[in-house]
Amino acid sequence: MSSAGRFLECKLLLTEGEALEFRQLSVRGTMFKRSLSLAVFACIVLALIFSAGAKADTVYVDGSYAFANGGYGIPPYGGTLNGQSAQFFCVDFSTPIYAGQSWQVNVTSLTGSNFSLTRLGNQTTYLEMAWLVTQMMSTTNQLQQAKDQYAIWSLTGGPNPYGTNSSMIAAALAAVQNGFTGAGWEILTPTGAAGQEFLFFVGVPEPGQLLLLLVGLGIVAIAAREKGNTAKATA
């Protein structure tokens, strides 16, 4: 018998069940490759999302502030972050700065888990500061804003001209314990000795970043659906 005949004979010896299993293996292989390709593409898109949202690390202060109280400028301070107009909230009383000064910073999300690059290294303390800043932002009363700011500065050795620091820090800690998360806030920590540490409100993502995020999530959803279809095909 010729080799062609032997090959044909072998094909005919497959049972119907074996032939079905062979087809299922082929389908599973195709679906797996497709799911793998989508997953890889999703990872690439998500990587682009995070790189697009990543900030450079240069702070510049132009010397402006909201108002003066007791010889100190009460934030927000004016300036730029990576060349873009920004407002900064000072949480560092111990380091003086001057108009026109710039420095490099490490950026730490207040909702993150690693605070090793910050000056205080304690998430709870920064959360208390951020909550006090939100109180400053919610009123137009300059005296109240000054009290809030002195309470923030008291955590880094600042004065207590109104005698309200302790009670305001207690209120801030209670707010944190009751669920204040600090979402949207970042800590800008100087990489060297020069420059103050600031809190900076990021706010909502830019529309372009939201679009990238939606695309990435859509691709992940498609990959998950393909995986589900593959599981059904093997059942």
Q: Determine the Cα–Cα distance for residues 230 and 233; give it in Å rounded to an integer.
A: 5
Q: Determine the Cα–Cα distance for residues 154 and 234; give it in Å rounded to an integer.
A: 64
DSSP-assigned letters across all residues of 114-158: --TTSSS--HHHHHHHHHHHHHHHT---HHHHHHHHHHHHHTTT-
CB-CB contact of 61 with 79 (8 Å)? yes
Length of the chain: 235
What pTM was estimated for this model as a whole? Answer: 0.67
Q: Determine the Cα–Cα distance for residues 2 and 116; give it in Å rounded to an integer.
A: 75
Give me the pLDDT at residue 8, please. Answer: 38
pLDDT by residue (tens digit) across 93-128? 999 999 999 999 999 999 999 999 999 999 999 999
102-109/185-190 β-pairing? antiparallel
Lowest-confidence region among 130-144, 151-165, 203-217: 203-217
Higher pLDDT, 212 or 120: 120
Give me the pLDDT at residue 35, please. Answer: 52
pLDDT by residue (tens digit) across 184-204? 999 999 999 999 999 999 974
Give me the pLDDT at residue 16, please. Answer: 59
pLDDT at residue 182 greater than cutoff 50:
yes
Give me the pLDDT at residue 119, please. Answer: 96
Q: Determine the Cα–Cα distance for residues 213 and 204; give it in Å rounded to an integer.
A: 13
Give me the pLDDT at residue 203, please. Answer: 77
pLDDT by residue (tens digit) across 9-46? 333 344 555 555 545 555 555 554 555 455 444 444 44
pLDDT by residue (tens digit) across 36-81? 455 444 444 444 444 434 445 899 999 999 999 999 999 999 999 9
Q: Measuring CA to CA, which residue among 211, 172, 198, 224 is closest to residue 52? A: 211
pLDDT at residue 88 greater than cutoff 90:
yes
**Token pair belonging to 21:** 């299993």
pLDDT at residue 211 greater than cutoff 80:
no
CB-CB contact of 178 with 108 (8 Å)? no
